Structure 1
Amino acid sequence: MMRARLRKVAAFAGMAVLIGLSGSVLAGDFEGKWLLDDTSGNPFEAVLSSDGTASGTHGDSMKHGTWKEENGAAVIHWNTGWTTRIFKQGNKYMKEAFKPGASLTDKPTNTSGASKKD
């Protein structure tokens, strides 16, 4: 009886570790440099760092923010108030932009493709 209980506890712990690893693998997929388009269609580069910080070139200025993996997507909260969501759709990545004050359940202000740079 005690051994069966220990096996269940060990199995549960093993599953918890695997779930934790799968989340970090997903987050690792988003770390790095991304080429995105702003709401006017102008390209800019966003860098998602492993420490949860984000930076991006936007015209002549730099913007900064934080990011994390949420529900299989990278969600970036910029210091400008904008939010960017990068996610995989089929075999390609997409970007959605949300204006200040909008939530991720609102209609995006802009949607376009996204590509990860090596």
Structure 2
Amino acid sequence: MTKHEQFLGIFAAMLLTLLSVSAVFAGDWAGTYVTEDTKGNAFTITLAADSKAHGEKQGHVLEGAWSVDGASAVIKWTTGWTTKLTQDGDGYSKTAYRPGTPVTDEGAKATPVKRVE
């Protein structure tokens, strides 16, 4: 086996490991969460393992996509809003960001989140 073939084998193994670890982190977030929207109304968020997000509040259905960002799941809704779920010890919190506001900025007041599934 040449050095080039050895390098490619090692690189492929590292890539597979990285992809597996990413899938585990994403799988850790998949589930259903209950919280409140920015007006205090009940808001249910479901994160699917395929990175799709679904939400329901006051009879309105939301669609979006989510990704893992450190200790948070960041959901980008088709409405332009962004929701950030963050694990805080044994619990979770939610911060909402208006359209065009980066998640690095201060969002709306953080509200508690309960994971139900």
Q: CA deviation at 1:72?
A: 3.1
Kindly indicate whether residue 99 of structure 2 is the aligned counterpart of residue 100 of structure 1.
yes
Paired residue for 2:87? 88
Q: Secondary structure at the match of 1:110?
A: coil
TM-score, normalization by structure 2: 0.82
Overall identity of the aligned pairs, in %: 32
Q: CA deviation at 1:78?
A: 0.8
Is the CA contact (8 Å cut-off) linking 1:26 and 1:72 kept in structure 2?
no
Gaps of 5+ in 2: none
Paired residue for 1:53? 52
CA distance in 2, matches of 1:26, 1:108: 24
Corresponding residue pairs, total = 117
Paired residue for 1:110? 109
Q: CA RMSD in A?
A: 2.2
Structure 1 runs of 4+ aligned residues shifted over 6 Å read 5-12
Gaps of 5+ in 1: none
Kindly indicate whether residue 53 of structure 2 is the aligned counterpart of residue 63 of structure 1.
no
CA distance in 1, matches of 2:26, 2:40: 26
